[in-house]
Amino acid sequence: MVRWGCVLGMPTGWVNSDRIILLTLAAAGVLTIALFSIKGILDQLPEVIASLERVRKAWRRFRGHP
């Protein structure tokens, strides 16, 4: 048993070590999902930038600029 009550936002007292393990696993899961989502967004970023460049060039041609 570890005295982690105030750290985990619970009333002061003894906290079961199983609870600490579950909270650690939950935090790792949330971090994994967040990193996976961020990686997906960053992987799409070059295509979005290239698309914006094509739109800008098309707009310039439409407006009559070289």
One-letter-per-residue 3-state SS of the chain: CECCCCCCCCCCCCECHHHHHHHHHHHHHHHHHHHHHHHHHHHHHHHHHHHHHHHHHHHHHHHCCC
pLDDT in tens, 5-19: 555 566 555 567 888
Average pLDDT for residues 24-39, to the nearest whole number? 96
pTM, full prediction = 0.56
Q: What is the pLDDT of residue 19?
A: 84
Average pLDDT for residues 22-38, to the nearest whole number? 96
